[in-house]
Amino acid sequence: MTTRVVVALLLVSSTAIAEDKYERPVKAVANLVDAPPIPSTSLGPDRSTLLLITARNFPSIAEVAEPELRLAGLRINPKNYAQSRRGFAQKLELVDTRAANAVPRPISGIPDGARIGDVAWAPDGALLAFTITTDTAIEPWIVDVKAATAKRQAQVALSGGVGAPCQWAPDSKSLVCRTVPRGAKPPVVTSNVPTGPIVQENEGTKKPTRTNPDLLQNPSDEKLFEHYLTSQLVRLGLDGTETPIGKPALFLGAQPSPDGKALLVVQVHRPFSYRVTLGNFPLRTDVWTADGKPVATIGDLRLAEDVPVDFDAVRTGRRGVSWRADAPATACWVEAQDGGDVKKPAAIRDTLDCAAAPYNRPVRIASLALRYRGVQWGTGALALVTEAWWKDRKTRTWIVAPDDQKQAARVLWDRSSEDRYSDPGSPVMRREPNGQWVLNVTSKGHLLLDGDGASAEGDRPFLDRLDLATGKSERIWRSEGTKYASVREVLDRDGNEVVLSRESPTEPPQLYAHSFAAKKERQLTKFAHPVPELAKVGKQLIKWKRKDGLELSGMLYLPPGFQPKRDRPLPVLVWVYPQEFKSAAAASQVNDSPYRFVYPFWGGPLFALTQGYAVVDDPSFAIIGEGKTEPNDTYVEQLTADASSMIDHVVGLGVGDRDRFAVAGHSYGAFTTANLLAHTDLFRTGIARSGAYNRTLTPFGFQSEERTYWEAAATYDRMSPFRYADKIDEPLLLIHGAADNNPGTYPIQTERLFGAMQGLGGRVRYVQLPAESHGYRAKESALHVLWEQVRWLDTHVKKAKPRAQARQR
């Protein structure tokens, strides 16, 4: 046996066959994995410097398979105190937005192969902070923007088990960081012999919980959790000085106040839980002085094991504590008034309160009939507070005056959250000199709004000017119909100068400095197409009607050169992920745009285009339940109608061969794939990746289903393809990460469906990917998945005998 990691490939027979290598697909498919990533961008606070961040797309399987600790929902690399499954950048570059010919400047001093993360501008824009994660530590680094040079900031090891380890001080002269205490040593497990049983008990209190992975299991886990989350707060000066703040504790964050004179410090503490993850552990939030002296305790949330599973259920106590962005040092928080229980009648669900020093005289900012969703601070006379309710998809935004309690709140928007066509957009925010983000109020007292601009022809982003007095918007700009463009940044207070992103199906997104007044623009980026072959594919928005008259839509992709009616119909891959709606009108709305760039994402369906297939990506398979009707009560019937009408339309276009359709999906799309094979004969085969197939294993809700199994047993059973494994008479390829950490999609879900189909004589293949989680990260894994998918589709679709002949076997 070689030293390479073994990929377990469980075949149709009862014998498990181990292969000693990862496979690689043909070059045209592998190009999707090998393609250089297009950089993301971040505009500096002075709006004259653009940062280009090139992602590090694929680590090796050796890196992905490094040891990790799974503690209370966290996954931590014990060697460097970092999150074990985070993404990194590989390159940073700077672009002068004012230059006539913008040319990227590489930042020197960064070691080759560095794993770059946590990139953050200093509030004054003169510096950038970032981290480099090595095999043994997370290091703090600083970039001098003018010189485009980087250097390590201090010889400390940062603690990165949860969240970004450092925050800039408002004066841009220091960083507040969580560091690994010097001399800290992991607890030693001296014996694996248990000292007694692990006992959990419940005495009549309802404590429902959705399926959570990576929970604490025993006292040893508790000790490890405490060790790897314990950190020392340190202020790192630009001169390399290290000033400890307080004593080591289980810190989750330390946020400097807008004036820099205080810290909002969040700590987790005992008692811990074996039933819920870190987010429901006891959390205490304190105000400290900048040098670490306690001032006040804002909130101390108790262990929350009894939060209902309903979507708008929340824990009791002061939650979501944060600084008010437009005030020097005012702490704000939200508190449920209904016990956090959505089933309990209540005129007021949540309240938003704020308090300045000494933090013992809170002021009521808003009383909300729905659940709090967020606040955008502007001035003492203006803030926007949003509330929403999942059950009926209602969302409402209020205009409030934080410093004037006599001024009544008034409604700005009251609408359905699933109605994309009526979305007014989001307020543009601007960064203050201290780094805080506040509402961008124009010289005339208006707000700027940018949005997707959803419409029946596809998304057409816009920039509007909102008159707060009347609530009416004036359109400044809208994306043209032949290309897709959006406002990436607003450069001036009144919205006259912006940075636009513009793309087409054949051209990657490029940035332009654009002046509406002068009607001129200057190109800032010139990114090359990462996979030129995809520039030749066809892309179009298609629409069709379900048998009940509901209009649906999706994106159709065609191989280069294919012409319907002229050429023979193609085999078709349909990539699915259904969505639940409370109204038929919302379900009919078009999502996305036919003019967006065909990005070469390896994990979707576009690989099939290189092999002569047509692709229908993310068709709007709508599951509707209006009024008091729940969408999932007719899930199978609606799903069947969605798929049948879509196939009829694609065949009618002259694109698809009705006898050669395949269906595939990831996660809930995998669940959908298995259901379509179990309940229809529409598809020749299916590919189901990292799905859940037995809903009795997720008895306290899943996806958008809030009811428990005991409240809707018939629905759970009807929706479980495991229950109908004997009806899956088409070949099914199952793929799952062996270390899946997504709630509800434990690998046992795939193992049990494979076992059922195997026992029943079904045609099924199960590929388990070692060390992979819900999404697959290693380059070897990505290439192997593509190899499996191409081979499976060619065998069971492209080269398959006509269905009538196949069924005579």
Residues marked active site are found at: 667, 740, 774
Cβ count near 611 (within 10 Å): 18
Query: Alpha-carbon distance 309 to 304, whole Å?
Result: 12
Burial code of 327-363, b = ≥16 C-beta within 10 A, e = fewer? Answer: bbbbbbbbbbebbbbbeeeeeebbbbbbbebebeebe
User: Residue 358, preceding bond cis, omega within 30 degrees?
Assistant: yes
Judge contact between 410 and 398, C-beta under 8 A. Answer: yes
State the DSSP code for 334.
Answer: E
Q: Is cis: bond before 271, omega within 30 of 0?
A: yes
Asked if 783 and 30 count as a contact pair (C-beta separation under 8 A), the reply is: yes
Q: E strand or H helix at 673, and its extent?
A: helix 668-679
- Bridge-based pairing of strands 331-336 and 685-689 is unpaired
Residue type, position 769, single letter: L
Q: How many CB atoms lie within 10 A of CB 215?
A: 17
DSSP string, 163-232: S-SEEE-TTSSEEEEEEPPTT--PPP----S-SS------SS--------SS---SHHHHHHHHHHH-EE
Residue whose token pair is 């694609």: 650
Could you tell me which residues are beta bridge partners of residue 132? 116, 139
Rg (CA), the chain: 27
Residue 736: phi and psi, rounded to 5, are -155, 140
How far apart are the C-alpha atoms of 576 and 673, rounded to whole Å? Answer: 7
Compute CA 371 distance to the chain's CA centroid, rounded to the nearest angstrom: 22
Residue partners of 371: CB distance under 8 A and separation at least 6: 312, 314, 342, 349, 350, 387, 388, 389, 390
Side-chain half-sphere of 15: how many Cα atoms within 13 Å?
A: 3
Q: Distance from CA of residue 648 to its chain's centroid?
A: 33
**Cβ-count burial of 654 within 10 angstroms (0-12 exposed, 13-18 middle, 19+ buried)?**
middle
> How far, CA to CA in Å, does 126 sit from each of 47, 117, 142, 719, 778?
11, 19, 10, 56, 36
Rounded Cα distance, 572 and 651, in Å:
10
Q: Is the dihedral of CA 487, 490, 494, 496 positive or negative?
A: negative
CB 63 within 8 A of CB 79: no
Nearest-5° Cα angle at 609, 604 to 612: 140
C-alpha–C-alpha distance, residues 431 and 427, integer Å? 13
Structure tokens at 555: 């994106």
Q: Which two tokens stand for residue 362?
A: 């809170």
Rounded to the nearest angstrom, the gap between the alpha carbon of residue 426 and the centroid of all alpha carbons in its chain is 19
Q: What residue has token string 């759970």?
A: 716
Cα gap 160→177, rounded to integer Å? 10
Q: Under a CB-based contact definition with an 8 Å cutoff, are residues 350 and 365 in contact?
A: no
For residue 208, which of 783, 709, 634 has the smallest C-alpha distance?
709
